[in-house]
Amino acid sequence: MELAPRTIQALIFDVGRVIVGVNVTRAVTTLGAGTRLPAEQVWAAIEADPRLREFQEGRLTPQEWHRHLTQRFGLELSFEQFCHAWNSALDPRPILSEDLFAGLAQRYRLVLLSNTDPIHVACIETNFRFPRYFHGRVYSCRARVSKPDPAIYEQALREAAVLPEAILYIDDAPACLEAGRRAGLETILFRGAERLLTELRQRGIAWQ
């Protein structure tokens, strides 16, 4: 017997590589300039740095992160220059259109759920229009916990303000989606804008 389709009342979106494109090469080309290492190795070193999680969970200030990385890579960058380089990883043109979120926001409760840091949050909130359509914004640096920890999904559920089974969650990371399913959410693996729009239509999600 086929189960009846869920009635979706809220959508949760990841940000990086779902709404906003990420190009780490731009950022690490500047951040790794003093190391003479390829950009890929610089980013791998940053990703493996245990202090990155501290930064993304709000346990390290932007100034402390700036000091940590500039000392690690031997850079002479002011805090302002560092922030500009760090934010250059974010593509200025969103992957998903503002029209999509404007339409969805009239019919569903929208929530952002992102592992990110205070520097990127400030950039996103200042330079992108899409956040204005979201009723809730759960950033790991403010939540003090990151995906796929169940605690951050609990915060997202509170922001969504509906039952888990009435929520559709979109992310590009399978491990994060699995955590969402354990929390009771319907999920979509993001594999491009056009494919997402098709999958939303197939689930009866309207935005026009």
Q: Same domain, yes or no, for 156 and 73? A: no
Asked, for residue 208, whether it belongs to a domain, the answer is no
Per-residue confidence (pLDDT) for residue 5, from 0 to 100: 55
Amino acid at 45: A
In the chain, which residues have pLDDT < 50? 1-4
Quote the number of domains for the chain: 2
Q: Is the pTM of this model over 0.75?
A: yes
Q: Which of 67, 87, 107 is the last residue of a domain?
A: 87
Domain-located, residue 156: yes
At residue 1, the pLDDT reads 34
How much is the pLDDT for 88? Answer: 94
- Whether omega before 62 lies within 30 degrees of 0, making that bond cis, reads no
Are 55 and 121 found together in one domain?
Answer: no
Distances (CA, A) of 159 to 109, 129, 152: 9, 20, 11
Are 186 and 119 in the same domain?
A: yes
Q: What is the pLDDT of residues 144-163, one digit of tens each?
A: 999 999 999 999 999 999 99
Q: Do residue 53 and residue 114 come from a single domain?
A: no
Domain that holds residue 61: 24-87
d(C-alpha 51, C-alpha 46), whole Å? 9
